[in-house]
Amino acid sequence: MTSPPHERAAEAASVLLSRANLPAIDIALVMGSGWSPAADAIGETVADLAVTELPHFAPPAVAGHAGRARVVRTASGRHALILLGRTHLYEGRGVEPVVHGVRTALAAGAGVIVLTNAAGGLRPETQRVGEPALISDHINLTGANPVTGPTFIDLTEVYSARLRELAREADPSLAEGVYVALPGPTYETPAEIQMLRTLGGDMVGMSTVLEAIAAREGGAEVLGISLVTNPGAGLVGEPLNHEEVLAVGRATAARMGALLAKLVDKL
Ligand code: 8IG
């Protein structure tokens, strides 16, 4: 790393805004596995670039993570940055690349960050595959943190109650739950899934929490939405695979797109 992380984000934000010919953006959305097809519904494209055209972005390594930064104009004339794809901790580059996209969005002026992901469901009794769920809180078991030094940031309300309320107004059927993040890249063992249920988790995945912490460090409000694409290992007896995740994303894209389009102008 050559310069401090927040300086690197400011550099990326400056290139992004000049490419979009805007003084600032209003909101940013990070599209996780399976969420990319939903992006087209959010607004009219103002600029569309490969993230690697922006300073200090790493190319995403996961199928279904397109690695693009798109700026769109929403129906009400707000400007949203849509990051199609993200960097994960399991790629082995450390924490800073994982949160660089969120920090870039903050530096570009975003006051609201929407984090989406695909997740395993820990409560098949009440969850259905293909259903979105709002993240009410998280348990960070990644062993990592984007904040360094004696910076004791309050995490009492990482996922804004105000934004969750607005999301439920847009879609009253939205469930809510606690998202547990593990480093991955392996899925869990059945014993680990039982442990996470005991700990109070409802969804499990390998992303989002570090980005949410970075967004709170920067003072933005956060909305988190998980698309439950599989029951956790051992809960139904089927092995897990990534292709299934993408298929659920394709099958639910229209619903997720409509939800996000409705949301971006309310948040
Ligand atoms: I999609 O079952 C998706 N991502 N850790 N466990 C973990 N990550 C996931 C899972 C899962 N499903």
For residue range 146-160, what is the model confidence (pLDDT) as tens digits? 999 888 999 999 999
Report whether pLDDT(65) > 70. no
- Most ligand 1 atoms within 8 A of CB, residue of 139, 195, 229, 240 to mutate: 240
- What mean pLDDT is predicted for residues 60-67? 65
The alpha helices in 203-267, defined as continuous H runs, are 209-217, 242-264
CB distance 109 to ligand 1 below 6 Å: no
205 lines ligand 1 (CB under 6 A): yes
CA distance 204 to 215: 20
Specify the ligand 1 atom closest to the Cα of 34.
1
CB 199 within 8 A of CB 243: no
Ligand 1: centre distance to CA 202 (Å) = 12
- Determine whether the shortest distance from the Cβ of 203 to ligand 1 is under 6 A: no
Would you state the pLDDT for residue 128? 86
Q: Is 10 in the pocket of ligand 1 (CB under 6 A)?
A: no
pLDDT at 62 (0 to 100)? 62
Q: Which DSSP state fits 109?
A: T
How large is the angle between the packed helices 5-20 and 95-107, nearest 10 degrees?
A: 50
Q: What is the CA radius of gyration of the chain?
A: 17
pLDDT computed for residue 199 by the predictor = 98
Confidence of residue 37 (pLDDT cuts 50, 70, 90): confident
Average pLDDT over residues 237-263: 79
**What H or E segment, with its residue span, contains residue 91?**
none
Q: How many CA atoms lie within 13 A of 79 on its CB side?
A: 18
Output the CA 212–ligand 1 centroid distance in Å: 18
- The per-residue pLDDT of the chain, averaged, comes to 92
Residue closest via CA to ligand 1's atom 3 equals 119
pLDDT band for position 192 (cuts 50, 70, 90): very high
**CA-based max dimension of the chain:** 52
With 0-12 CB in 10 A as exposed, 13-18 as middle and 19+ as buried, what is 136?
middle
Q: Give the residue whose CA is nearest to atom 8 of ligand 1.
A: 205
Q: Atom 5 of ligand 1 has which residue's CA nearest to it?
A: 205
* pTM as predicted: 0.94
Cα-to-centroid distance, 253 and ligand 1 (Å): 19
Quick one: pLDDT band at residue 258, thresholds 50, 70, 90?
confident
Residue nearest to atom 2 of ligand 1 (CA): 120
Confidence of residue 262 (pLDDT cuts 50, 70, 90): confident
Q: For residue 256, what pLDDT is reported?
A: 83
Residue 184, pLDDT > 80, answer: yes
254 confidence band (pLDDT: 50, 70, 90): confident
How are beta strands 79-84 and 175-181 bridged, if at all? unpaired
**Ligand 1 atom nearest 232 alpha carbon:** 2
The whole-number pLDDT of residue 64 equals 52
In the prediction, which pLDDT does 48 show?
95
Sign of CA dihedral 200, 202, 208, 213: negative
Q: How far is the CA of 241 from the centre of ligand 1 (A)?
A: 9
Residue 36, pLDDT score? 80
Position 13 confidence tier, pLDDT thresholds 50, 70, 90:
very high
Q: Which runs of consecutive H residues, i.e. helices, occur in 118-241?
A: 161-170, 190-199, 209-217
The residue type at 143? G
DSSP reduced 3-state for 239 = coil
The pLDDT tens digits for 66-90 are 689 999 999 899 999 999 989 999 9
62 CB within 6 A, ligand 1: no
Higher local confidence (pLDDT), 249 or 81: 81
